[in-house]
């Protein structure tokens, strides 16, 4: 389960009470309070006696509704689908594929998209579809339209930029708003690049 809301005391207690009310036990919990925005974010993995997800959602919401949360709840068996994008260098992709193969990343990876052919063998060896989508200034709109087709066709929940070294257009960013994760550090303020 993921939850975010304005930060204030009592959120963790309320959520725990909701979980306990359905016979649940919290197995893992991670939380963060952003002092700049005043937003509280939490990801909780719990086991519950109730099998109906909607029953669990209603019980948890009954406890946390006063905090005005955005709450997402899904069974752990339901894995999110990620499209990974990479350019020439494969170190970020290798790490993701390895963690996925050993079960550390609980997702489905139906497709990897690259603007170069360099990672094709690595991706196909992992049993994942590889799509080469070259990008030039002239072909960028067509390439991004094709990317959106792949997102739709593969029922992708989110896109991971694993050292994908192309700037996404404003239009593509709007279309995928809230669904793109960039894991390459060069875009963080403390790093040049």
Domains and CATH numbers, the chain: 2-72 (3.30.70.260), 80-187 (3.40.50.170)
Look-up: residue for tokens 């593969």?
Answer: 154
| Averages of pLDDT over each 10 residues, the chain, 193 residues | 94 94 92 94 88 86 94 86 93 94 93 96 97 94 96 96 89 92 63 46
CA nearest 19: which of 59, 62, 53, 79?
59
At 193 the pLDDT is: 44
Strands 2-6 and 70-72: antiparallel
pTM exceeds 0.85 for this model:
no
CB contact set of 66 (below 8 Å; sequence gap of 6+): 14
At 191 the pLDDT is: 47
Look-up: residue for tokens 């992709």?
Answer: 93
Distance separating alpha carbons of residues 62 and 40, to the nearest angstrom:
18
């Amino acid at each position: 389960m993921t939850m975010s809301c304005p930060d204030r005391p009592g959120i963790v207690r309320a959520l725990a009470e909701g979980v306990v009310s359905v016979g649940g036990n919290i197995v893992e919990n991670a939380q963060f309070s952003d002092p700049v925005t005043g937003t509280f974010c939490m990801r909780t993995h719990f086991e519950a006696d109730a099998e109906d997800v909607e029953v669990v959602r209603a019980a948890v919401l009954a406890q946390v509704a006063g905090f005005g949360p955005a709450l997402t709840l899904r069974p752990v068996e339901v894995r999110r689908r990620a499209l990974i994008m990479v350019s020439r260098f494969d170190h970020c992709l290798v790490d993701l594929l390895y963690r996925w193969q050993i079960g550390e990343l609980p997702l489905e990876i139906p497709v990897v998209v690259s603007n170069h052919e360099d990672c094709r063998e690595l991706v196909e060896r992992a049993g994942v579809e590889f799509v080469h989508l070259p990008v030039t200034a002239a072909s960028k709109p067509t390439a991004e339209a094709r990317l959106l087709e792949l997102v739709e066709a593969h029922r992708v929940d989110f896109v991971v930029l694993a050292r994908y070294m192309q700037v996404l257009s404003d239009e593509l960013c709007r279309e995928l708003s809230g669904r793109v994760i960039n894991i390459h550090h060069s875009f963080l303020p403390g790093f040049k690049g």
